Amino acid sequence: MKHLLSWTPPTSLWVFFASAIVWFLLVTPLWMQVSKWTSYPTATLTRVVLQNAAGYWVRSVHTTSESIEVETRIEVALPDNVKRERGTAELVAEADPAHYAYGLPLFVALLLASRSPHLLKRALAGYLILLIPQTFSLTFEILRQITVAGGRPGVLHIDQWQIEGIALGYQVGSLLLPTLAPVALWLWFDRAFFAIVVRDGWLRRDGISPESPPP
């Protein structure tokens, strides 16, 4: 309760919205300077997941601060103009770990805009939690590359429904999670802000000024 008493929330939703935009525009360029380092754990987690969940496909995984490179056992046909002796090559999938990590600056911007108490602690906790959806997105990005390049389910030794599952996972991981996860997490961390915003509206609707002294 102590932190709530020392917490001054934004005066209106519009102030919050404007602050969130400004903070997001300020924090994102800063994040871009450090994203290759902040996203390195995502690459490491993705390596662990791929080696355990797709061990049949994955021969080795190399992670650097700027990319994750997965050497697979999947053989793909070479185009005629680069064919040499065998006419096939093993697929290498590559992705940027920071590509799906832009939710972090959004999360921090929301914390700043809502003037969240315990800012640093929540930002750190949020960073750690957001590694999970980021790992999900990155893992399915790699799996998508493998399934698209690998072609038929027979070549990949999986069923059609598993390919559909990878396609769905990729869509969720690329289109929904990167922005939804930070907002949902912020809403959970700053649920007091949400409650205040809602109550403010309800009180105003009922003709009670939120600023007015209690009866």
Partner 1 sequence: MNWLFAFSGNRGLSPHTLWHHCGMRRFFLIFVSLQLVLFGIELTQPVQQHLVLPWTTLLAQACVAIVTLFDTHAAAIGKVLWNPANGFGVSIEPGCNGVEACIILFAAIIAFPSTWKHRAWGLGLGFVAVQLLNVIRVISLFYLGQWNASAFRIAHEFLWQGLIMLDVLVVWLLWVRSSPNASPPQIDRGDTAAA
Which positions touch partner 1 (CB under 8 A)? 1, 4-5, 7-9, 13, 16-17, 20-21, 24-25, 28, 32, 99, 102-103, 105-106, 109-110, 167-168, 171-172, 174-176, 178-180, 183-184, 191-203, 205-206, 209-214
Query: Residue 75 is inside which H or E element, if any?
Result: strand 68-77
190: helix, strand or coil:
coil
Helix, coil or strand: residue 59 = strand
Tokens 């404007």 sit on residue: 18
Residues 6+ apart with CB under 8 A from 182: 103, 104, 106, 107, 110, 126, 130
Nearest approach in angstroms of CB 62 to partner 1 is: 23
Report DSSP state, residue 118: S
Give the helix/strand (H/E) hosting 10.
none
The first and second tokens of residue 142, run together, are 């790699």
Q: Which is nearer to partner 1, 51 or 174 (CB)?
A: 174
Cβ closest to partner 1, residue 85 vs residue 206: 206
| Smallest distance, partner 1 to C-beta of residue 194, A | 7
Q: Which is nearer to partner 1, 83 or 204 (CB)?
A: 204
Nearest approach in angstroms of CB 14 to partner 1 is: 8
Closest CB 139 distance from partner 1, rounded Å: 18
Residue number with CB closer to partner 1 (5 or 82): 5
